Amino acid sequence: MGANVSSIDTNCDDGLNYLPFKTKLDDIPEACVALLLSYLDPPEICKLSRINRVFRDASSADFIWEPKLPSNYNYILQELLALKVDDALCKKDLFAKLSSPRSFDGGTKQVWIDKKNGGLCLAISSKGMAITGIDDRRYWNHIPTDESRFQTVAYLQQIWWLEVDGDLEFQFPEGAYSLFFRLQLGKATKRHKRRACNYEHVHGWDLKPVQFQLTTADDCLVTSRCYLDNLGTWIQHHVGDFVVKDATVPTKIKYSLTQIDCTHTKGGLCVDSVLICPSSLAKQLTSC
Q: Which one is predicted more confidently, 277 or 80?
A: 277
Gap between the Cα atoms of 264 and 52, Å rounded: 66
Residue 200 has pLDDT above 70, yes or no: yes
Residue range 246-253: mean pLDDT, rounded = 93
Gap between the Cα atoms of 213 and 239, Å rounded: 6
Q: pTM of this prediction?
A: 0.85
3-state secondary structure of 3: helix
Residue 43 has pLDDT above 50, yes or no: yes
DSSP letters, 192-258, are TTEEEEE-TT-BSTTTS-EEEEEEETTS-EEEEEE----BT--EEEEEEEEEE--TTS-EEEEEEEE
Which range has the worst mean pLDDT, 80-89, 91-100, 212-221, 237-246?
80-89
The pLDDT of residue 120 is 94
Q: pLDDT grade, residue 7 (50/70/90)?
A: very low
The pLDDT of residue 189 is 86
Residue 57: other Cβ atoms inside 10 A: 13
Q: Which one is predicted more confidently, 124 or 19?
A: 124
pLDDT digits (tens, 9 = 90+) for 93-137: 899 989 999 999 999 999 999 988 889 999 999 999 999 999 999
Tally DSSP H helices, then E strands, for the chain: 8, 15
Side chain identity at residue 23, one-letter code: T
Gap between the Cα atoms of 161 and 112, Å rounded: 34
Residue 22 has pLDDT above 50, yes or no: yes
